[in-house]
Amino acid sequence: MERQGKGGEEEAQTRLPDLSFVHDKLQKFQSKMLSDFEQRLSCMVEDVLQDLRQRELRAHEFPNFERSDRKSTWHNRVTSQAPADVSDSPNSHANGTQPRPQLQSETSARKPRRQLPEKVFVVRESYLTALLQVEHMRTIYHIFYIILVMFLLNVICYDYFVDGRFDLGLGTFRGGLRRLHWVMGVWLLEHVFVLALYFAFRGWALVRHRLKTHGSLQRFWSHSCLILYISSQLVFCFVSTSLCLKFNLPFVSACVLLLESTRLLMKMHAFVRYNAERVLNGKAKKEDVQEEEEASGRPFVPPLSCYTYFLFAPTLIYRDSYPRTSHIRWKFALNRLLEVVAIAFLYAFIHERHIHEHFGQYGLEPMGPSQLILKLFGMMLPSAVIFLCGFYLILHSWLNFTSELLRFGDRMFYKDWWTSHTYDAYYRNWNVVVHDWLYEYVYKDMYTHVFRGSKVAASLAVFMISAVVHEQVLGFALQMFFPVMFFFFGVVGVALVFLMRSAPKVMGNIFLWFSLILGNASLVSLYAMEHYALKNCSLSDQSWTDRLLPAAWRCYN
């Protein structure tokens, strides 16, 4: 018995070190858990306090964003049949309508494809218009004014002390706007073509209605008109681009012609696509109520006044009517017009003092990797200013100016893209006007009729079409084949959409801004090098492959 007792004591003593080891581990685990808990708790408390501060700031400083209908104010699509699983569609339905409840037999028989949301127009201001009502945001606005004044002083001093004269960027305006009167003449002729399309569409609808008793003739008429419509659109695009080369238009004049031609092309397709469906269905859609054909039996075609207003309205989505403001704020419109003029002068200053200074001698001076890197980093800040001012010039100042003159109520031409942490959100919020057109007339048709419910394939088709149009405008405006924009937009941009979908919010936004600044600097630098290489280098095209090689490369190789 004594031996057994001693053996038990020895065994207990041998186990004591193991128990102390476990005790130490548990103590460390407990201290680590408490530390993590305290850290997480402090972070949660800080987040709650930050939310309370932001709510108080919105309630006092941002009254336009702290409203009960804020979600519906800054969202522009609703579904008419069923809620859509897209991020920018609200849960409510247009005009208070509710979806038709499906019978149990219908739901069990088949699973319907999701209903894509539709564009809804409401009276609302632009984001920056609402933000600039806050004193803190107006201070940032004043800072940009001072930056413009500094650019002006820089140009004045350079012109006086170096050139001995005052030019104020007018030389850039004279060179960039040459043959603008030819552009205006072509623009007027294009509007004659656009108006002729309305009467052609009206004729198609009337003849089709008269042939309703002859099914085969009706189909032949519709198919023939469809082929004629597609051919006319291709000819319209070809003429505008070929005239840039025939007239040898400078960059600014060519951009005016090509962008206006693209806008009118998108307007014509929006009108035909929206109203052709109404004619084919034999119904008139007015204020979300579908009505049968009128007692006269004639198909419904909108009056010419609706079509004419749509041609000049700052939207690419056709509707018979839009929400309108009660009056024109002339002071607001004048301020937006002055901003357009000021940014135009700022672009002239950047061209003379940065782009031309960095790349004007490209092809005539020694160039190596170190010189290219220095030029790229030298263009970082000017390219960022070009990017931000381009957004403000077109999507805020110009569109708000035209909206005010036409009393167009819906001013949501962009959303808060600057807070995006994914490229998916950036592309949706950056240019709402073009995005709505691509979504309404390209993505929805691709999703419904071509790819049959494939969101990825429809999205890729939209990206490719958008990249081709961007490259077409830049390529013909600069009169060169240099598909950098297509590569950045259609390859790198698409890849970043899928790669950044799971990015953290803070790091995603930081990387978004880093890539935008670096990408725009690379884009401006590469196109500037190619432009001045074609201008400065005497290059001979001995074969067709020489035309495909960049002139910036052939100058030094």
Catalytic (active-site) positions: 470
Cβ–Cβ < 8 Å for 505, 421: yes
CB-count exposure of residue 309 (10 Å: 0-12, 13-18, 19+)? middle
Residue 455 CB neighbour total at 10 angstroms: 14
How far is 187 from 243, CA to CA, in rounded Å?
12
E strands in 345-454:
none
Q: Where are the alpha helices (DSSP H) in 379-422?
A: 380-391, 399-406
Backbone angles phi and psi of 290, in degrees to 5? -90, 125
Amino acid at 546: D
How far is 146 from 152, CA to CA, in rounded Å?
10
How far is 372 from 549, CA to CA, in rounded Å?
19
> Residue 64 to residues 121, 125, 307: CA-CA distances in angstroms?
18, 9, 33
How far is 443 from 457, CA to CA, in rounded Å?
9
Amino acid at 327: H
Strands 283-286 and 289-292: antiparallel
DSSP character string of 487-501: HIIIIIHHHHHHHTT
Q: Which helix (H) or strand (E) holds 147?
A: helix 135-158
Radius of gyration of the chain (CA): 31
CA atoms lying within 13 Å on the CB side of residue 226: 11
DSSP category for residue 442 = I
Amino acid at 41: L
Query: Which pair of tokens denotes residue 31?
Result: 């201290």
Q: Could you tell me which of 521, 489, 485 has the C-alpha nearest to residue 383?
A: 521
